[in-house]
Amino acid sequence: KQEVTQIPAALSVPEGENLVLNCSFTDSAIYNLQWFRQDPGKGLTSLLLIQSSQREQTSGRLNASLDKSSGRSTLYIAASQPGDSATYLCAVIGTYKYIFGTGTRLKVLA
């Protein structure tokens, strides 16, 4: 059974810091992996989708990497801003199913 873990559960950093969020999964037989952002009381905003054949994806200040063999993905946020404050979720994608981690709650202090 696939299990997805995100560490840390919560993170508070000063504005301008570079930071790394971690996602690990137990079964490497995945199709893709996707990172989302969730603001309080809101739905999901897709940030980056990494296909299983790729090792990383970049969008602006965000970079996500994927290492299937070790069951790990990281989301790198450069030059963090208060507007980045949200919960970040990773999801491992299998057949008919997204399996989500419990998220990292990020707070960027001005």
Partner 1 sequence: SQTIHQWPATLVQPVGSPLSLECTVEGTSNPNLYWYRQAAGRGLQLLFYSVGIGQISSEVPQNLSASRPQDRQFILSSKKLLLSDSGFYLCAWSFRGQETQYFGPGTRLLVL
Strands (DSSP E) along the chain, which ranges? 4-7, 10-14, 19-25, 32-38, 44-51, 56-59, 62-67, 72-77, 86-94, 97-100, 104-109
Shorter beta-carbon distance to partner 1: residue 66 or 80: 66
The reply to whether 102 sits near partner 1 by the rule CB under 8 A is yes
Given 55, 61, 97, 107, the residue binding partner 1 (CB under 8 A) = 97
Q: 35-64 mask for partner 1 (x: CB under 8 A)?
A: ------xxxx-x--x---------------
Interacting residue ranges for partner 1, rule: CB under 8 A:
4, 31-32, 34, 41-44, 46, 49, 89, 91, 93-103
